[in-house]
Amino acid sequence: MQCGHFDKIRERERYSMAGLFDKQAEIYLEARPSYPTEWYKMLAELTPHHRLAWDVATGNGQAAFGVAEHYEQVIATDISSAQLKFAKQRANVRYLHTPLSLSDDELVSLIGGEGSVDLITVAQAIHWFDLPRFYSVATRLLRQPGGVIAIWGYNGIEVSPAFDAAASCWYETTLPYWDSKIKPLFGGYGSLPFPFEGVGLGCEGSPLHLDIPKELAFEGYVRMVRSWSAVVTAEEQGVDLLPEGVVKELEAAWGGAHLVRSIVYKGFMLVGRVKLSELGL
């Protein structure tokens, strides 16, 4: 889930975070929620043209695959080559490994050139970015008029009162191992800078809250939390946040390892266009 200079950038580089997300790649593929198809249709209806979309920090291509239903071509970029190995393949999706060594100008050229992109999407990743730099490049790439940028994420799930209480207690043990850059995600992107003109689907300081439904067995839940960066970081420090006893307690609260529940991931979104003042109008 990363692009060029922007995805999970300096902090990850500082202590090999790109390697951390490489290690997560295989379980990440099947553990995370699928974003509703209605989201992509909703975003596509905002752009007058549907020639090119850029999915930034694409990871396994989950969002790119959904966007590709509505755009002629999707460029999907990531800093992690390991993540891209598990990406979903589709004829109109082009995956590009974008190392940190790319300059801004090189990245703009690689994606399609200034004013070439109708839709930019960033799913569950923008909190890692060098935001001023990313927003500058996004502004250069968005087609004028009409280009749209959409960012979204999720920061919790609702299962049942009993399980939610047990999971909350366990979650407290993960707090020392989260990177500080993930704080905007915990806050539902309410504090995240987003210098774009709102289009009615969330704006700076006021994200749109959305539910992401999913059918999930307990085994899938465990795979998901094992892919969390905090859990991986703790493991590298010799701390097992999911020992057998904890897993058994959570399993009992869930109702059994194989029980499939209808759960809800709590999502949020910000969508906007380049402000007229940025265009000199």
* pLDDT digits 0-9 by tens, 100-120: 889 999 999 999 999 999 999
Domains of the chain: 10-156+181-213+265-279 (3.40.50.150)
Q: How confident is the model at residue 33 (pLDDT cuts 50, 70, 90)?
A: confident
Measured at the CA of 53, the angle between CA 51 and CA 55, to 5 degrees, comes to 165
Q: Evaluate if residue 3 carries a pLDDT over 50.
A: no
Q: Evaluate if residue 17 carries a pLDDT over 70.
A: no
State residue 15's pLDDT score.
31
Residue whose structure tokens are 């774009």: 196
Residue 229 identity (one-letter amino acid):
S
Q: Evaluate if residue 26 carries a pLDDT over 70.
A: no
Residue whose structure tokens are 């990871």: 59
Neighbours of 128 (CB within 10 A): 28
Q: How confident is the model at residue 13 (pLDDT cuts 50, 70, 90)?
A: very low
Q: How confident is the model at residue 262 (pLDDT cuts 50, 70, 90)?
A: very high
State residue 164's pLDDT score.
97
More confident residue, 207 or 88: 207
Closest CA to 241 of 252, 230, 255, 249: 230
In this prediction, residues 169-191 reach a mean pLDDT of 93
pTM of this prediction?
Answer: 0.86
Q: For strand 197-198 and strand 260-273, is the pairing parallel, antiparallel, or unpaired?
A: antiparallel
- Is the separation of the CB atoms in 268 and 154 below 8 Å? yes
State residue 276's pLDDT score.
78
State residue 279's pLDDT score.
62
More confident residue, 13 or 133: 133
Write down the mean pLDDT value for the chain.
88
Helices (H), 158-256: 161-172, 183-186, 218-226, 229-236, 244-254
Q: Is 154 left (phi over 0), alpha (psi -120 to 50) or beta?
A: beta
State residue 85's pLDDT score.
86
Closest CA to 76 of 144, 1, 6, 137: 1
**150 sits in which H/E element:** strand 148-158
Closest CA to 75 of 41, 99, 110, 39: 110
State residue 191's pLDDT score.
95
Q: How confident is the model at residue 81 (pLDDT cuts 50, 70, 90)?
A: confident
State residue 147's pLDDT score.
98
Residues contacting 68, CB < 8 A, separation 6+: 53, 74, 90, 92, 93
Angle between helices 218-226 and 229-236 (to 10 degrees): 60
Model confidence pLDDT, tens digit, residues 200-252:
999 999 999 999 999 999 998 998 899 888 999 999 999 999 999 999 999 99
Q: Phi then psi for 276, rounded to 5 degrees?
A: -55, -35
- Is the separation of the CB atoms in 21 and 8 below 8 Å? yes
State residue 5's pLDDT score.
40
